Amino acid sequence: MKILVAMSGGVDSSVAAALLKEDGHDVVGVTLRLWGGESDSGCCSVSDVDDARRVAQQLGIDHLVFNFSDDFQRSVVDPYVHDHARGVTPNPCIECNRHLKFDRLFERADVLGFDAVATGHHARVEFIEGVWRLLRGHDGAKDQSYVVHVLDQRRLARCLFPVGTMTKAEVRRHAERLGLRTAHKPDSQDVCFITSSGGRADFLRRRIELHPAEVVDQNGQALGEVDSVELVTLGQRRGVAGGGGTKRFVVDVDVASRRVVVGDESELLVDHEIGADPVWTDGEFEGDVLVQCSAHGEPRRGRVSRSSHAGTDRVVVAWDRPQRRVSPGQSLVFYDPIGDWVIGGATVTSSDRRSTS
What's residue 17's pLDDT?
Answer: 98
- The answer to whether 292 touches 340, Cβ cutoff 8 Å, is no
Q: Which of 43, 44, 93, 96 is catalytic?
A: 96
- Domain holding 15, by residue range, is 2-178
| pLDDT over 60 at 41, yes or no | no
Bigger pLDDT: 103 vs 188? 103
Using DSSP, how many helices (H) and how many strands (E) does the chain show?
9, 17
pLDDT by residue (tens digit) across 241-283? 655 567 889 999 999 999 999 999 999 999 999 999 999 999 9
Q: Is residue 146 part of a domain?
A: yes
| pLDDT over 50 at 136, yes or no | yes
| CATH code for the domain of 146 | 3.40.50.620
What's residue 355's pLDDT?
Answer: 47
Q: Which of 156, 132, 180, 159 is nearest to 12 (CA)?
A: 180
What's residue 255's pLDDT?
Answer: 95
Bigger pLDDT: 27 vs 355? 27
Which secondary-structure segment (H or E) carries 205? Answer: helix 199-205
96 is catalytic: yes
Q: Which of 43, 44, 192, 293 is catalytic?
A: 192
Q: In which band, very low, low, confident or very high, does the pLDDT at 194 lie, cut at 50, 70 and 90?
A: confident
- Both 12 and 157 in a single domain? yes
| pLDDT over 80 at 201, yes or no | yes
93 is catalytic: no
- Both 70 and 149 in a single domain? yes
Q: What is the pTM of this model?
A: 0.92
- Both 160 and 285 in a single domain? no
- Both 233 and 287 in a single domain? no
Domain boundary among 162, 178, 194: 178
Q: How many CB atoms lie within 10 A of CB 304?
A: 24
| pLDDT over 70 at 356, yes or no | no
Q: Is residue 201 part of a domain?
A: no
Q: Is residue 195 part of a domain?
A: no
pLDDT by residue (tens digit) across 72-93? 999 999 999 999 999 999 999 9
- The answer to whether 232 touches 216, Cβ cutoff 8 Å, is no
Domain boundary among 241, 263, 285: 263
Domain boundary among 228, 263, 298: 263
Q: In which band, very low, low, confident or very high, does the pLDDT at 39 lie, cut at 50, 70 and 90?
A: low
- Both 220 and 277 in a single domain? no
| pLDDT over 50 at 357, yes or no | no
3-state DSSP of 131-171: EEEEEECCCCCCCCHHHHCCCCHHHHCCEECCCCCCCHHHH
Q: Is residue 119 part of a domain?
A: yes
- Both 31 and 171 in a single domain? yes
What's residue 45's pLDDT?
Answer: 67
Q: Is residue 117 part of a domain?
A: yes
Which residues, other chains included, contact 114 with Cβ-Cβ below 8 Å and sequence gap of 6+? 2, 3, 4, 28
What's residue 353's pLDDT?
Answer: 52
| pLDDT over 90 at 60, yes or no | yes
| CATH code for the domain of 232 | 2.30.30.280
The DSSP letter of residue 145 is G
